[in-house]
Chains A and B, each alone.
Chain A
């Protein structure tokens, strides 16, 4: 291969590598709606799993990489925060703990209210006082 071809090949390799690096650097986070559902549970089942064995539940629902959990339950409250975030808390039968589903305000159906039966998908991040799901989307 002559020198010109090698130089051209080098430029092409740098361009491909640079393009890949730029795509990786600017890659947007995957939405919960774009990922397959790993686990499907009710809100009560999800809380019970964490209360029974936090480590096992973390392995199952949080995983080592982001994974989507689909949760069904009854809305306890819809709390609109001032930062564009809305927290929808699902009933679990435990007054001190719930399943908190964090939505961006635009993704929460306007008609949702306490007492409604809903299903959501989100990324499970673990449990503090409540089980926490982020980047949630409603499931029709």
Chain B
């Protein structure tokens, strides 16, 4: 291959190489949800959340296996899967949206960036628009951490809470997310 052809080929693929540089992902993100009532507090944790962020376009997605949420007590976990989330029928929770407030250049520069995320959350088979505020932190070593907090109402996603236990579960559930993103 002549030098000219080599250079031409390299230049042709350069945009793709650059695009690949701007994608960040994790396979072990953490989502926790917390329900606080006078009757009891309930917390579920999932440490196997996958997420991909395209820093150029701002497109962001995450997915979580419902059965990977862990609770302190067996009964809580069984009720969560069998009665509320019906995880045999709806095994995954997903989000697709757009992140604003931090671009490709920010994710390579140490600092703390307040961000907003707007998109669609699919839970229990029901998709609803969702907006959340968060923070992206880039440390001196280049590690990228994204955190966010948002609230979900079970009824918005057709999650039926029986009347006998309604007071045991908060009307609005607090969800926190922590993602340690690495460049793809």
Contacts and interface: CB of A to CB of B under 8 A. Distances in A.
Contacts of B74: 27-30
B65 A27 contact: no
A140 interface: no
A85 B29 CA distance: 12
A134 B68 contact: yes
B75 A83 contact: no
Chain B interface size range: 20 to 34
A128 B48 contact: yes
A125 B48 contact: yes
B183 interface: no
Contacts of A3: none
Majority secondary structure, B binding face: strand
A25 B68 contact: no
Given A25-B73, A29-B74, A29-B77, A129 B30 contact: no
Interface in B84-104: 88, 91-92
Interface string A82-105: 010101000000000000101000
B47 A128 contact: no
B27 A129 contact: yes
Contacts of B56: none
Interface string A50-68: 0000000010001010000
Most B C-beta atoms less than 10 A away, residue of A83, A87, A129, A130: A129
The secondary structure that dominates the A interface is mixed
B43 to A, nearest CB: 13
B27 A100 contact: yes
A24 B91 CA distance: 25
A127 B47 CA distance: 14
A62 B91 contact: yes
A41 to B, nearest CB: 18
A45 interface: no
B70 A26 contact: no
A134 B70 contact: yes
A27 B27 contact: no
A81 interface: yes
A128 B91 CA distance: 10
A129 B50 contact: yes
Contacts of A27: 73-75
Contacts of A102: 47-48
Contacts of A58: 91
Nearest to B62: A128
Interface of A: 24-30, 58, 62, 64, 79, 81, 83, 85, 87, 100, 102, 123, 125-130, 132, 134-135
Q: Which 7 A-B pairs have the closest CB atoms?
A: A125-B67, A125-B68, A128-B50, A126-B65, A29-B74, A125-B65, A27-B74
